[in-house]
């Protein structure tokens, strides 16, 4: 994954966080939409971190 793809994924995370904050203001934490958004956000964060560290590993081992 290149830097542009990582930045795109990071932007998705940012906007999903903003959406989640908006949902939380309108609903309680047990709301199904809040729960689904939170799960999706968690999944994207894990994906981002895995790909970021994989890129760092590959970059450091190709020097």
Q: Which two tokens stand for residue 35?
A: 């729960």
> How far apart (Å, rounded) are the C-alpha atoms in residues 16 and 24?
12
Prediction pTM value: 0.81
Note down the domain range covering 19. Answer: 3-61
Tell me: the pLDDT tens digits for 22-36?
A: 999 999 889 999 999
The band of 55, judged by pLDDT with boundaries at 50, 70 and 90, is: confident
Domain count of the fold of the chain: 1
| Whether the predicted pLDDT of 47 surpasses 60 | yes
According to DSSP H, which parts of the chain are helical? 3-26, 32-61
pLDDT of residue 1: 65
* CATH classification of the domain holding 47: 4.10.280
Exposure letters 53-63 (e unless 16+ CB within 10 A, then b) = eeeeeeeeeee
Task: pLDDT band for 14, please (50, 70, 90 cuts).
Answer: very high
Asked whether residue 41 carries a pLDDT value surpassing 90, the answer given is yes
């Amino acid at each position: 994954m290149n830097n542009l793809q990582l930045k795109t994924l990071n932007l998705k995370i940012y906007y999903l966080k903003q959406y989640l904050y908006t949902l939380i203001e309108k609903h309680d934490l047990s709301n199904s939409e809040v729960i689904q958004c939170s799960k999706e956000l968690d999944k994207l964060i894990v994906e981002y971190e895995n790909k970021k560290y994989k890129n760092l590993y590959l970059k450091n081992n190709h020097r």
